[in-house]
Each structure stands twice: as structure tokens, then as C-alpha cells.
């Protein structure tokens, strides 16, 4: 699978909402070409309705590359900068609809010399620079806030889906309100199910002096069904050394599994919970971290069963859904569960499958929480490290067999008075 093909797949699925419905019902998209069928082992060849009517695939819409010319060179460069995802068997290349190629020209409206006005302070140029082989890109030329033009938001979202985690430098102007306002451009902000926010609304403190040391591989809030689609993390205080964050691509982790392991994983379901042995998992935890865990983080104990392989609702990729909140594999003994989780998780954490970010004050990172895990490295001793996180509502995952995730306990996810909580949505992923 080439980079060009992988990028084409991602954007084909982004644009074709019909795929999502097909994934949910376990069927195929009703369009021309050889199509990916989310049911294992099924592929179908359909007849083109308008043979030869489609233009060559632009493969990756809308994102100019640093210092490149405006037109097709951008597209070519972006193709070569797409992540090296190898989609699961059955995800073929197919030309994109002609209308997708227009995204590139729409993005051009962000340029200062463009005659097209926008509602936002217009960035000179929004550029995307690939940083890691499997994931990670730097987006520059944009000042984040709640007033960005739709074209800018679309370009950021496209980069996010393609590269899984994107970074922005110099966003010092953001405060809690502006951070949340920008988040609303990507979806609905949601509160953490148990941890109080920093501002009484959605911005969650990730502070070292409050036990905010996420030094285990995890996907945010997977102990509830509709865990967040995106997390937006903003750095306000950074230690003089250490405190980096690592991300891993769970789509490439799945795609690069040996075929027998992919087939095994496709059939598994795992129980996730926020009620785990914190002290055993973090032997170096400080007393205040243990208190915070018991009194706050696990104040309501959630149990949710997820598929181990989720069909991504926007890209159609299969991703491994595991991480630190996994308690056991459904139907297996504790011993077999540990062995199997460790085996699959080891493919996620391989260094080649990760990207590491060294924070500066004013940085913003946004990740696709449905296609990544992350790890906050706890190596800055007692120095302060303060970040703020806004999470965007997700939807209920579905496995490759179309079965959705299920909340086992409690009966529902409690919501704060001011708005929705993460995981409370009952919207199924494929129904978006």
C-alpha cells in the first residue's frame, strides 16, 4: 500500500457518509468500485455507474505544504507526506469525487492576498508538515480560536484525520473560553465524567501538582461508551526538561499485525474501567495522587465493553481499541486476558509506531482519540507542568461485526448541569 493509496482511502471515507451507515449495518457502500466491507473477509466488486467519469485521485485534499507552490505541487507533496498506514485488506484506492479536489482551492482563500473574505483573522498560509512516519504533523499559519473560517476548520480536520495528531506552536493567546470556542468548531465539548473542570465548564486541568501524570499508554476516557472523538491539549506551564508526550497510531498498529492476529482481534471484546488498582499500576505514585484517584477519578465506577477492533466512523480504518483502562478480555481468564492484551498492546507501543512531542508554552496538540493512544512521560521531577484539555464528543464505537459498545455499569453516564459529559452520547459511530 502506497502513501498515495492510504491517503486516498482516508479521504474517500471522510467524504462518503454512506460508508458510515454501511459500516454500521455490516454492508458495503453503494457506489462504484471495489469497496471495503467491514465484515471480515467480505469484499464486493460493484459496477461503475459512470465509467471514466472520475478524474485522477487528488488523494489528499486541501492542505498546502510549507514553502510549496499553490497548486498541484501541494497535492503531490501531501501525498508523499501522508502517514504510512496500511489499511486492512479490502480498503482499496479509488479516485475521489471531483468536488473533493475543490477543497484545495477553498483553502487558498485563507491567504492574505485572497479576494475572498473570511470571518476570521486570516492566516497568511495554513501549512502542514509531516513530523513522524506513522503519525504527527505540524500545522502552522493559523491562530486558533472560535472565529476560524469553515475552510480553515476543514483543513485542520483533514490534517487531523490523516496524521492522527497535529501540533500548533505559539497559541499563547488562548484562554479557557477561546480554547473551548475553538473546540466547538470540531464538535461538541464534553465534560469529564468524574473529574471537575478548571473553569466550571469543559476545560480539564492536567496539572502535575494535582496528580496529572498520565504515564501509561491510554486512549482518553475509554471506560465509557462514547468516549471523546478529539482531545485538544494546551500547554500553559512547561518544565525546564522532560514532560514530553508520546502518541501511538492504533490504525497502523492494527494494519501491520500479522493476518492471524488481525482475525483474532476482530472477534474480541474488552471491558474497560476507571476502577483499577492505581497503586499497583503506579508504584511511584505520590500520596496525593492516590487520594485524588480514589476520591475524584474513580468516584463513579464505570464498566464498558468495547470491541477490540473498532471501525473508525470517519476514515473507515480499523483501529485497535485497548489502552490503560482495559480490565480484561470478555470471555477469557484473567491470565489469558493479560497475555493477549499485552501482545496486541505491544504492537501499538512499538517505537516506530509512535511520535514524541517536546512541549513549549503556547503549544496546542489535537489528536484523534479514536485512532491513537498517548503517554505523558513523567521525567521532570518536581517541576510544574500545567496543561488544559478540552475534549470533543465522540460516538458509540462499533466493531467489524457491527456490534456497538455497551455500558455495563452504572445504568447511565451522569452529566453535569451545564452540558453533556463524555461518554453520555448514545449516537452510534456509523450513524454520524
Residues annotated as catalytic are 218, 220, 374, 389
Residue closer to Fe ion, measured from CB, 36 or 367:
367
HSE-CB for 188 with a 13 A CA cutoff: 17
In the region spanning residues 296 to 315, those forming contacts with Fe ion, defined by CB under 5 A, are none
Minimal distance, residue 127 CB to Fe ion, in Å = 27
Q: Which of these, 187, 208, 340, lies nearest to 265 by C-alpha position? A: 340
Binding mask 197-216 for Fe ion (x = CB under 5 A): -----------------x--
Minimal distance, residue 369 CB to Fe ion, in Å = 8
Q: Are 60 and 78 in contact (CB under 8 A)?
A: yes
Residue closer to Fe ion, measured from CB, 20 or 388:
388
Minimal distance, residue 389 CB to Fe ion, in Å = 7
C-alpha torsion sign, points 330, 335, 336, 341? positive
Q: Are 64 and 126 in contact (CB under 8 A)?
A: yes
Residue closer to Fe ion, measured from CB, 155 or 204:
204
Given the rule CB under 5 A, which of 50-58, 171-179, 219-227, 325-333 is the region that contacts Fe ion?
Answer: 219-227
What are phi and psi for residue 366, nearest 5 degrees? -125, 130
Residue closer to Fe ion, measured from CB, 20 or 213:
213
Beta bridge partners of 140: 127
Q: Are 270 and 330 in contact (CB under 8 A)?
A: yes
Beta bridge partners of 390: 232
Residue 278 CB contacts under 8 Å (≥ 6 apart), including other chains: 285, 289, 290, 293, 294, 298
Alpha carbon separation from 61 to 1, 73, 155, 204 (Å, rounded)? 19, 12, 8, 33
Q: Which of these, 89, 20, 372, lies nearest to 255 by C-alpha position? A: 89
Binding mask 165-204 for Fe ion (x = CB under 5 A): ----------------------------------------
Residue closer to Fe ion, measured from CB, 220 or 314:
220
Could you give the CA distance from residue 160 to residue 209 in angstroms, rounded to a whole number? 30
Minimal distance, residue 233 CB to Fe ion, in Å = 8
Residue closer to Fe ion, measured from CB, 214 or 408:
214
Q: Are strands 165-168 and 137-140 parallel, antiparallel or unpaired?
A: parallel
Binding mask 37-76 for Fe ion (x = CB under 5 A): ----------------------------------------
Residue closer to Fe ion, measured from CB, 16 or 374:
374
Minimal distance, residue 232 CB to Fe ion, in Å = 12
Place of cell 517505537: 351
Alpha carbon separation from 126 to 36, 63, 66, 112, 246 (Å, rounded)? 32, 7, 8, 11, 24
Q: Are 147 and 119 in contact (CB under 8 A)?
A: yes
The DSSP 8-state label assigned to residue 170 in this structure reads -
Verify binding: residue 220, Fe ion, rule CB under 5 A: yes
Given the rule CB under 5 A, which of 26-34, 188-196, 218-226, 259-267 is the region that contacts Fe ion?
Answer: 218-226
Minimal distance, residue 101 CB to Fe ion, in Å = 36
Q: Are 85 and 252 in contact (CB under 8 A)?
A: yes
Q: Which helix (H) or strand (E) holds 237?
A: strand 230-237
Verify binding: residue 108, Fe ion, rule CB under 5 A: no
Residue closer to Fe ion, measured from CB, 158 or 186:
186
Could you give the CA distance from residue 322 to residue 60 in angstroms, rounded to a whole number? 29
Please tell me the count of residues contacting Fe ion according to CB under 5 A.
2
CA angle 389, 390, 396 (to 5 degrees): 120
Minimal distance, residue 168 CB to Fe ion, in Å = 18
C-alpha cell at 160: 487531523
Minimal distance, residue 317 CB to Fe ion, in Å = 21
User: Could you list the residues that contact Fe ion (CB under 5 A)?
Assistant: 214, 220
Amino acid at each position: 500500500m502506497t502513501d498515495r493509496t492510504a491517503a486516498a482511502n482516508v479521504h474517500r471515507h471522510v467524504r462518503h457518509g454512506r460508508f458510515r451507515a454501511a459500516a454500521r449495518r455490516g454492508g458495503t457502500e453503494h457506489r462504484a468500485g471495489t469497496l471495503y466491507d467491514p465484515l471480515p473477509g467480505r469484499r464486493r466488486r460493484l459496477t461503475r455507474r459512470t465509467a471514466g467519469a472520475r478524474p485522477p485521485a487528488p488523494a489528499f485534499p486541501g492542505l498546502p505544504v510549507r514553502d510549496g507552490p499553490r497548486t498541484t505541487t501541494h497535492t503531490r507533496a501531501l501525498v508523499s507526506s501522508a502517514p504510512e498506514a496500511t489499511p486492512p485488506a479490502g480498503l482499496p484506492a479509488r479516485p475521489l469525487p471531483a468536488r473533493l479536489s475543490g477543497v484545495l482551492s477553498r483553502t487558498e482563500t485563507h491567504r492574505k492576498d485572497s479576494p475572498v473574505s473570511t470571518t476570521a483573522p486570516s492566516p497568511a498560509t495554513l501549512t502542514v508538515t509531516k513530523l513522524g512516519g506513522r503519525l504527527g504533523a505540524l500545522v502552522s499559519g493559523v491562530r486558533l480560536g472560535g472565529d476560524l473560517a469553515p475552510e480553515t476548520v476543514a483543513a485542520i480536520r483533514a490534517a487531523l484525520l490523516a496524521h492522527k495528531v497535529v501540533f500548533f506552536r505559539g497559541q499563547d493567546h488562548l484562554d479557557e473560553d477561546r480554547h473551548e470556542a475553538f473546540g466547538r468548531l470540531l464538535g461538541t465539548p464534553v465534560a469529564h465524567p468524574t473529574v471537575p473542570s478548571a473553569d466550571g465548564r469543559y476545560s480539564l486541568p492536567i496539572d502535575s501538582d494535582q496528580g496529572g501524570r498520565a504515564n501509561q499508554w491510554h486512549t482518553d476516557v475509554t471506560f465509557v461508551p462514547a468516549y471523546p472523538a478529539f482531545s485538544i491539549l494546551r500547554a500553559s506551564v512547561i518544565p525546564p526538561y522532560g514532560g514530553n508526550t508520546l502518541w501511538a497510531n492504533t490504525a497502523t498498529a492494527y494494519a501491520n499485525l500479522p493476518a492471524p492476529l488481525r482475525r483474532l482481534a476482530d472477534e474480541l471484546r474488552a471491558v474497560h474501567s476507571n476502577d483499577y488498582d492505581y497503586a499497583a499500576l503506579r508504584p511511584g505514585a505520590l500520596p496525593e495522587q492516590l487520594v485524588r484517584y480514589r476520591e475524584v477519578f474513580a468516584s463513579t465506577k464505570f464498566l464498558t465493553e468495547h470491541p477490540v477492533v473498532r471501525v473508525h466512523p470517519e476514515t473507515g480504518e480499523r483501529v485497535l481499541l485497548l489502552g490503560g483502562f482495559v480490565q480484561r478480555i470478555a470471555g477469557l481468564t484473567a491470565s489469558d486476558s493479560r497475555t493477549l492484551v499485552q501482545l496486541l498492546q505491544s504492537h501499538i507501543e512499538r517505537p516506530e509506531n509512535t511520535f514524541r512531542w517536546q512541549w513549549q508554552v503556547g503549544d496546542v496538540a489535537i489528536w484523534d482519540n479514536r485512532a491513537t493512544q498517548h503517554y505523558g512521560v513523567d521525567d521532570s521531577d518536581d517541576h510544574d507542568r500545567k496543561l488544559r484539555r478540552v475534549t470533543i464528543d465522540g460516538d458509540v464505537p462499533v466493531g467489524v461485526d457491527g456490534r456497538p459498545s455497551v455500558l455495563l455499569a452504572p445504568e447511565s453516564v451522569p452529566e453535569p448541569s451545564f452540558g453533556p459529559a463524555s461518554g453520555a452520547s448514545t449516537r452510534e459511530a456509523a450513524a454520524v
